A and B are shown apart, each in its own frame.
Chain A
Amino acid sequence: LAKTTQPISMDSYEGQEVNITCSHNNIATNDYITWYQQFPSQGPRFIIQGYKTKVTNEVASLFIPADRKSSTLSLPRVSLSDTAVYYCLVGDDSGGGADGLTFGKGTHLIIQP
């Protein structure tokens, strides 16, 4: 599983766009990039997944450059309820893969009024 590096914490304000970058220099050809959100006292929740270029859903966008050695989770117009820990996970998403899925330390995002 590719090792990931994220900032430990970030601060922002309501209404701002927040970008959280994850480095994964040894990403493999079959690896996908997946982001999770975790609120206190809850299990992580899937946000978005991508392989290359840009992916957008109703919650966030994910930007992946051509070399795929990093990725950026973009949260548009954040609110106080976006305060959470965000995890970047990189791994082989092909069917039949037997590796365990491991999480890094995540980024604690704090949104202020």
Chain B
Amino acid sequence: NAGVTQTPKFQVLKTGQSMTLQCAQDMNHEYMSWYRQDPGMGLRLIHYSVGAGITDQGEVPNGYNVSRSTTEDFPLRLLSAAPSQTSVYFCASSSNRGGAKNIQYFGAGTRLSVL
């Protein structure tokens, strides 16, 4: 059981480039979210989704887009990369049933550097 899979693991971008961070889960979880973590800091919520076709903004959504066309996938798009977006990005999922929404499963992260 793969759990939550994030690709790529590492990425270097130039300012102004765009890219998509991929996230896939095989646990049939309704709830998925994206966080960023800057060095020595806690996690900040970027965007989240409570099910296919439904997305919403978190604490720091500017500069990022998401879509949720299937239950399994929740890609995060950087529209025009900026150095301030250099961070580690984590994707997480949880079941929205049975009181388990707060028990999230995290991917291994994508380390992004924007030059």
- Report whether A44 and B103 are in contact in the complex, using a CB–CB cutoff of 8 Å: no
Least distance between B98 CB and chain A CB atoms (Å):
7
Set B45, B98, B101, B103: member contacting A102, Cβ < 8 A: B45
Please name the residue on chain B nearest to A102 by beta carbon.
B45
Give the interface size class of chain A: 20 to 34
Q: Is B64 on the interface with A (CB-CB < 8 A)?
A: no
CA distance A96 to B99 in the complex (A): 9
Least distance between B110 CB and chain A CB atoms (Å):
11
CB neighbours (8 Å) of A49 from chain B are 102-103
The interface residues of chain A, by DSSP majority, are classed as loop
CA distance A85 to B41 in the complex (A): 10
CB neighbours (8 Å) of B24 from chain A are none
CA distance A111 to B101 in the complex (A): 31
Residues 64-100 of chain A, each 1 if its beta carbon lies under 8 Å from chain B, else 0: 0000000000000000000001010101111111101
CA distance A41 to B57 in the complex (A): 25
- Report whether A95 and B99 are in contact in the complex, using a CB–CB cutoff of 8 Å: yes
Number of interface residues of B (CB under 8 A): 31
- Report whether A95 and B98 are in contact in the complex, using a CB–CB cutoff of 8 Å: yes
- Report whether A101 and B104 are in contact in the complex, using a CB–CB cutoff of 8 Å: yes
- Report whether B102 and A102 are in contact in the complex, using a CB–CB cutoff of 8 Å: no
Set B97, B98, B99, B107: member contacting A43, Cβ < 8 A: B107
CB neighbours (8 Å) of B104 from chain A are 36, 44, 46, 101
- Report whether B56 and A95 are in contact in the complex, using a CB–CB cutoff of 8 Å: no
Please name the residue on chain A nearest to B40 by beta carbon.
A108
- Report whether B48 and A100 are in contact in the complex, using a CB–CB cutoff of 8 Å: yes
Q: Is B35 on the interface with A (CB-CB < 8 A)?
A: yes
6 A-B pairs with C-beta separation under 8 A: A43-B106, A44-B90, A93-B102, A95-B98, A100-B57, A101-B94
- Which residues of B pack against A, CB within 8 Å? 4, 33, 35, 41-45, 48, 50, 56-59, 90, 92, 94, 96-109
Q: What 9 A-B pairs are tightest by C-beta distance, nearest first?
A: A43-B106, A103-B43, A34-B102, A105-B42, A100-B48, A100-B58, A93-B99, A93-B102, A100-B45
